[in-house]
Structure 1
């Protein structure tokens, strides 16, 4: 048997890169190095900033500022809000602080914000007194939402006295809507409102006139009719429960 050996094929020598190609490769390598260094520096800066904001004591909560109070004191709001001091400001749970602030009966809403570098601000909206329910020794004060939020020994100025169950919030809401429908000057003439049921609302005025209101529907129209009839002359009773066909006696 005869075998034939084939000599290995020699590779052709690779052409040497030109000077321009070598320079371009060097520039690309240098740019990659710069990008890597910049990425590392940026990561270090971000990490340092995150540590500074979320974990260091530099931006700890050191004070609580309160605004929006009328009857309440800043101390009362601060105590209720219970903002934990010494916690980094960025880690404060603002919604939880707001919920605690609204646990005060006088507060209808609360907004909590961060004031850098070290303060939590709690802004409250206090309930506006609208109705007063007579009780032994004083009055329970009610807002337009039917919420009983305070007890007073005397009736607050500008508040209308109502004879109603203070636990009946839907009824208090209806009475509040009647009061709000009255012009300011007429509201000032109302001495009391009675309502055994939601559809038996009656108003008493300083001149002794009884205004039979019925329910709280169409209160804006009923108020307009009642004002016109009050201005029309002496009478003892005005019935606007059906405002399109009112009656006077």
Structure 2
């Protein structure tokens, strides 16, 4: 009798899920949740900041500060600038405010800035009076740019009296260039300047001397020549219209 022995079967080891992938999935899930929360918080913070700065009354404009005035008052500049109080400071139209401030004839330039949390600063540059244009009952005052910006009953200190058409701005610019070129001691001697055309400028001094200037070209050189000739004791007149060949009488 033959018997066949069959070796016992060994069962295969049972497969168990790895712990590492499960841990990785849990970590990744937590990171995604944290990332989402952080993103939501950032969005909320940015939205809140935008609302606070641009739309809420927390940073609204509460005051206007004016600087740089000389003859104008702060109240005059404030009224002209017309800054809308209560508007969020970030939404103030600074260029528009500056444009309104320069609508004042006395203002040549204006700079507007924000000062947090709630102030608008308006810094102005007033025109420098240089020419006093003779008029019935007083003078129209113009700066070196030929801009007439004030009327006075008497000639302001340091302003040179001129006879010219106040509506002729190019001519006033020529006269301003001449006055600007004069040394202070010579300017102090000038009682008046007259001109009908840009090349017919003439100055008169306290001693009665007439200085024929011509146009405003080479005014710095003409001023040097005129200064030297005045110091030499000229009696009646000086002609520096051709400064390299001046004439005296």
Q: TM-score when scaled to structure 1?
A: 0.91
Structure 2 equivalent of residue 46 of structure 1: 46
Cα distance in 1 for partners of 2:16, 2:55 equals: 56
Q: Displacement, 1:162?
A: 0.5
SS of residue matched to 2:50: helix
Structure 2 equivalent of residue 20 of structure 1: 20
Structure 1 equivalent of residue 121 of structure 2: 121
Change over 3 Å in CA distance of 1:183–1:17 after alignment to 2? farther
Structure 2 equivalent of residue 218 of structure 1: 218
1:147 correspondence with 2:147: yes
Cα distance in 2 for partners of 1:32, 1:246 equals: 90
SS of residue matched to 1:140: strand
Cα distance per residue 1:73-115 (max 9 Å; x no partner) = 0111111111111111111111111111111000001111111
Structure 1 equivalent of residue 199 of structure 2: 199
Change over 3 Å in CA distance of 1:17–1:103 after alignment to 2? farther
1:158 correspondence with 2:147: no
Whether contact under 8 Å (2:56, 2:88) holds in the other structure is yes
Cα distance in 2 for partners of 1:35, 1:143 equals: 65
Q: How many residues align?
A: 235
Cα distance in 2 for partners of 1:17, 1:217 equals: 98
Change over 3 Å in CA distance of 1:236–1:45 after alignment to 2? same
Between 224-233 and 151-160, report the one with greater CA deviation.
224-233
Cα distance in 2 for partners of 1:244, 1:234 equals: 17
Structure 2 equivalent of residue 73 of structure 1: 73
Q: Displacement, 1:28?
A: 2.6
Structure 2 equivalent of residue 4 of structure 1: none
Whether contact under 8 Å (2:234, 2:248) holds in the other structure is no
Structure 1 equivalent of residue 180 of structure 2: 180
Cα distance per residue 1:126-148 (max 9 Å; x no partner) = 00000000111111000011000
SS of residue matched to 1:29: helix
Structure 1 equivalent of residue 227 of structure 2: 227
Cα distance in 1 for partners of 2:34, 2:122 equals: 47
Whether contact under 8 Å (2:139, 2:153) holds in the other structure is yes
Cα distance in 1 for partners of 2:79, 2:110 equals: 14
RMSD of aligned alpha carbons: 1.3
Cα distance in 2 for partners of 1:16, 1:39 equals: 38
Cα distance in 1 for partners of 2:175, 2:76 equals: 30
SS of residue matched to 2:83: coil
Q: Displacement, 1:159?
A: 0.4
The structure that has the greater radius of gyration is 2
Q: TM-score when scaled to structure 2?
A: 0.91
